[in-house]
Amino acid sequence: MASITIKDMSVSYNKGKSFVLDNLSLDIKNGEFCVFLGPSGCGKSTAMHCIAGLLHPMSGEIRFGEEVMTSANRKGRDKTFVPPQERNIAMVFQEYALYPNMTVRENMSFALKTKKVAKEEIAKRVDYMAKMLSIEQLMDRRPAELSGGQRQRVALGRALVRDPQVFLLDEPLGNLDAKLRDQVRYELKKIQEQLGITTIYVTHDQTEAMTMADHIVLLKDGHIMQQGTPEEMYDHPANEFVAGFLGTPQINIFFCEVKGNILDAGSFKLNIPEHLRTCLVPYAGKKINLGIRPSDLELAKDKMDVIKGHVESIEPLGDAYLIYVRVGEQIVVFKYTGEHAPKEKELLLTPNMAKLHLFDALTEKRINR
Please say which residue, 172 or 222, places its beta carbon nearer to another protein.
172
Measured from the CB of residue 155, what is the shortest distance to another protein in angstroms?
9
CA distances for 357 relative to 145, 268, 283, 285, 307, angstroms: 51, 17, 15, 18, 16
Quote the least distance from Cβ 94 to another protein, whole Å.
8
Smallest separation, CB 146 to another protein (Å): 14
Nearer Cβ to another protein (52/126): 52
CB of 114 to another protein, least distance (A): 4
Beta carbon nearer to another protein, 114 or 271: 114
Binding site for another protein (CB under 8 A): 52, 54, 83-87, 89-91, 93-97, 99-101, 110-111, 114-115, 162
Smallest distance from the beta carbon of 8 to another protein, in angstroms?
25
Return the number of the residue (97 or 195) whose C-beta is nearest another protein: 97
Distance, CA of 68 to CA of 369 (rounded, Å): 37
In the bound state with another protein, the residue whose beta carbon lies nearer, of 81 and 93, is 93
CB of 101 to another protein, least distance (A): 4
CA distance 68 to 265: 52
Per DSSP, what are the bridge partners of residue 227?
A: 217
In this structure, the number of other CB atoms found within 10 A of the CB of residue 283 comes to: 17
Query: Rounded distance, CA 141 to CA 33, Å?
Result: 31
Min. distance of Cβ 115 from another protein in angstroms? 6
**Closer residue to another protein (CB): 93 or 283:** 93
At what angle are helices 148-160 and 104-114 packed, to 10 degrees? 20
Question: Residues 6 or more apart from 301 whose CB is under 8 A from it?
Answer: 350
Pairing of strands 357-360, 67-72: unpaired
What phi and psi, each to the nearest 5 degrees, are found at residue 223? -120, 150
Q: Which is nearer to another protein, 83 or 318 (CB)?
A: 83
Cβ-based neighbours of 138, under 8 Å, separated by 6 or more: 104, 130, 146, 150, 154
Rg (CA), the chain: 25
Q: Which is nearer to another protein, 84 or 273 (CB)?
A: 84
Please report how close the Cβ of residue 158 comes to another protein at its closest, in angstroms: 8
Full DSSP string of 70-89? EEE-TTS-EEEE--GGGS-E
Q: Are 3 and 198 in contact (CB under 8 A)?
A: yes
